[in-house]
Amino acid sequence: MKASLEIIEKLSISNASKIVLIVIDGIGGLPVNGATELEKAHTPNLDALARDAICGIIDPVGRGITPGSGPANLALLGYDPFRFIIERGALSAAGVGFDMQPSDIAVRMNFATIDKEGKIVDRRAGRISTAKNRELCKLLEGISLDDVELFLRTEKEHRAVVIFRGEELSEELSGSDPQATAVPPQPLAALSASAGKTVKVANSFIDRAKERLKSSYPANMVLLRGFAKYPQLPQFNDIYKLHAAAIALYPMYRGIARIVGMEILRAAEGIAGEFQTLKENFQSHDFFYLHIKDTDSAGEDGNFDQKVKIIEEIDKQIPILMELNPDVVAITGDHSTPAILKRHSWHPVPILIHSTWVRPDSVRQFSENACSMGGLGRFGAVEVMSLLLAHALKTAKYLA
C-alpha cells in the first residue's frame, strides 16, 4: 500500500529543512569472488553514515523488473513508473535543454554504421566523438522537409535528438532502430491513422540523412527510436512544496529533472565538481537531486574495478556533503548495473537515510546485503520521496 501522489501533495508542507538525494547510477552489483562492487570498495565515509542512518533496500520498479533510466529515476522522485511514462525522444530533448512546444515531436537518434547491403554493423557508429556528432548534426539540419521545421541536437558521442515541428504531427509511430545488428533498419510504421504524415516526414528525413552521410563512415546512417510529444507531468515543486535543483552531468538526467520542473544547476565537471556545485548552491534551494553517472558506465563496460574506484571517489566527497549539514541525506541508486552482467538489472538497490529523525538500525556498512537487513526493509523506490519529506518534517498528519 502506498500513498498516491495526490495524497502526498495534500500532506506536504513547506519548511526550511534541506534534503539531498544522491543517486549513484547503477550502484547495485553482483559478487565477484564473494563481494559486490560496493562491498569491495573501501568506503569509510559511507559506512559511517550508514551507522548513524536507517538503511533499506529498494526495488526501482518492481521485483524482477529491469528498469530503464527514465522509470527508475521517476520512481525515486515519487512518480509511479507504471503511470507516468516519458518516451525516449522527450527525455532526450529535455536532456539537451531543447524547449519543446506542445505540438513538437522529438525522437532519439543514433549515428550508426551500415554495410553495403544496408545492414547495421554498429548501432553506435564506433561511439563517434561528441565534436564529430555536432558537425554531423549541423550537416543534417540543412535538410528541408517542406512545411515541417527540423531541429537536431547533439547529446553525447553517437547520441542525438531530432525534433520535428509542424502541423498534424503524431507520436504514434514505431522507430527504425531494431536494437540489433546484422539486420537492416526497421521501416517506420504508423500505430494510428493520424500518424501517416509523420511517417512520411520521418522517412524523408532518414533517406536524405543517409544520402548526406554517405561519406561520413562510420557514421553513415541514422536510427530513430521513441517518437514522443513533451510529457505533461505533475510538477515536483507543486506536489512537494519544494524549491528543487538538479545536478547531473549527463543530459538525460537533466532532462528528467527538467520535465518534473526542477531547476537545473550548471555542474562543474567530474564527481568532485558535482559536489562543489552542491556546496555553492546549497543556500538557494531546499531539495537537491544529485545524479552520478560514472558507476553505471563502468558497470555497462563490465569494468568491476573501475566501478569500485568510482564508488571510492564518491565516498571521498561525503565529508563535503555532510559539512553542509543537510537535514536529510539519502544515498541510493536508480537501479543495479552489475559489472558481470554489463547492463541494467532487476536487483534491488541499497538506500540509507540520514536525519535527526531516523530511528537508527544496526546496519554498519553501506552495501547491498547489509542494507537488506536494515530497518527500512525492502520497498519500492516510489516510496522514497514520502520518507524523505517525513524525515524533513515536511509532511502533515494524514486525516485526524
Applying CB under 8 A, the residues found at the interface with a copy of itself are 1-4, 7, 11, 28-31, 36, 57, 59, 61-71, 80-82, 85-88, 91, 108, 226, 341, 343-347, 357, 359-362, 368-369, 372-373, 375-380, 382-383, 385-391, 395-400
| Cβ at position 369, least distance to a copy of itself in Å | 6
Comparing CB distances to a copy of itself, the nearer of 80 and 115 is 80
Type of residue at 262: M
CA distance 169 to 106: 10
Comparing CB distances to a copy of itself, the nearer of 320 and 390 is 390
Cell 518534473, located at residue: 260
User: Which DSSP string corresponds to 152-180?
Assistant: EEE-STTEEEEEEESTT--S-EE-S--SS
CB 138 within 8 A of CB 126: no
Cell 531543447, located at residue: 98
Comparing CB distances to a copy of itself, the nearer of 91 and 265 is 91
The neighbour count for residue 266, using CB atoms within 10 Å, is 8
Pick the closest to residue 89 from 173, 14, 31, 179 (CA basis).
Answer: 173
CA distance 275 to 117: 49
Element (H, E) at 352: strand 349-355
Comparing CB distances to a copy of itself, the nearer of 66 and 276 is 66
The neighbour count for residue 399, using CB atoms within 10 Å, is 5
The neighbour count for residue 63, using CB atoms within 10 Å, is 10
| Cβ at position 377, least distance to a copy of itself in Å | 4
| Cβ at position 115, least distance to a copy of itself in Å | 26
Quick one: cell of 354? 540520514
Comparing CB distances to a copy of itself, the nearer of 62 and 261 is 62
| Cβ at position 16, least distance to a copy of itself in Å | 17
| Cβ at position 110, least distance to a copy of itself in Å | 12
Backbone φ, ψ for residue 391 (5° rounding): -70, -15
Backbone φ, ψ for residue 186 (5° rounding): -80, 145
Cell 550508426, located at residue: 112
| Cβ at position 2, least distance to a copy of itself in Å | 5
Comparing CB distances to a copy of itself, the nearer of 81 and 326 is 81
| Cβ at position 218, least distance to a copy of itself in Å | 23
CA distance 239 to 13: 10
| Cβ at position 1, least distance to a copy of itself in Å | 4
Comparing CB distances to a copy of itself, the nearer of 100 and 271 is 100
Comparing CB distances to a copy of itself, the nearer of 64 and 102 is 64
CA distance 151 to 170: 16
Quick one: cell of 48? 559511517
